[in-house]
Amino acid sequence: MTEITHRTIATNGINLHIAEAGTGPLVLLVHGWPESWYSWRHQLPALAEAGFHAVAPDVRGYGDSDRPDAIAAYSMQDMVADYVGILDALGEEKAVIVGHDWGAPMAWTSAVLHPERYRAVVGMSVPFTPRSPAPPLQILRQRFAETFFYIVYFQEPGVAEKELEADPRRSLRLILYAISGDGRGMSGFAGKPKESGLLDGMTEPAVRPPWLTEADIDYYANEFGRSGFRGGINRYRNMDRDWEELPQLEGARVRQPALFIYGSKDGVVASNPASIETMRQQCDDLRNVIVLPGAGHWTQQERPTETNAALIAFLKGL
């Protein structure tokens, strides 16, 4: 198997740790919450063996990358600038950007704002959506005024961090299982009593799912044990700031060739199935929408073989 190597690069005024494999056209893999470069562990060697230079950073706030203190340092503008800076640091004019979970909006936004740098885009789990008619947190606070919703819960600095950092291994085990294809969907993330914590009501798996090994859980637990959860959660605390800072996303379209992959049991899409058709209408060249039967939210980890095949076919078709 192709070796995955690691280094730290300077970009956009911070240092980011990247994992990489292979040579050839650049494919930038952007992870979501609560993950790290490690969520792409199955894709890095597969893409390298298919003739690509695959690069997966620890997003700012995670792992061995810098963790700025200010909440505003986790705005979409800064995130997008980080990834353009990776291209610059690697001496690459263009790349294909791939994103999962929060990485998907980052990838879509990167493609819209920097079409000259990204020749294609892949979203996983979170489809491309138009700019909301009002600040998103304002909408969410109204919608979930009487019940728990995780994004609203994340807004008060320190609250979610205290809960999740009390036992990072348990927190990650519960979260990764809960919204996988083996778990109970988004039930732990929404609809509970308003005073709940995120982990309240989440259950331990009776049998650990085969895609998530004890070594995988150990890796994530060690990473978040060192970094804490604050950096990743700060991304959620910038949603209204993003809305204010990026008015140019109003009416934006994805012009590049695009691919979308999601699991049939992913609560993100299941909670808003119309989002797929909305995405189709906003993309000029959406080449495929691939549904992975039985998979939940952790697309590339739960179904690595199918995800790799879809990615490589898309990339080679460009």
Which residues are catalytic, by number?
A: 101, 297
Rounded Cα distance, 102 and 280, in Å: 20
Give the list of residues 6+ apart from residue 312 with CB closer than 8 angstroms, or none: 46, 47, 50
3-class SS string, 151-206 = HHHCCCCCHHHHHHHCCHHHHHHHHHHHCCCCCCHHHHCEEEECCCCCCCCCCCCC
Which of 109, 126, 137, 104 has its CA nearest to residue 239?
137
Give the list of residues 6+ apart from residue 224 with CB closer than 8 angstroms, or none: 34, 164, 165, 168, 171, 172
Q: Kindly report the CA angle at 36 between 94 and 42, in degrees rounded to 5?
A: 75
Provide φ and ψ at 146, rounded to 5°. Answer: -115, -5
Strand order in 283-292's β-sheet?
Answer: 5-11, 14-21, 53-57, 26-30, 95-100, 118-124, 254-263, 283-292
Rounded Cα distance, 296 and 180, in Å: 4
Tokens representing 236 are 């959620």
Beta bridge partners, 15, equal: 10
Give the list of residues 6+ apart from residue 142 with CB closer than 8 angstroms, or none: none
Helix axes 214-227, 168-178, angle to 10 degrees: 120
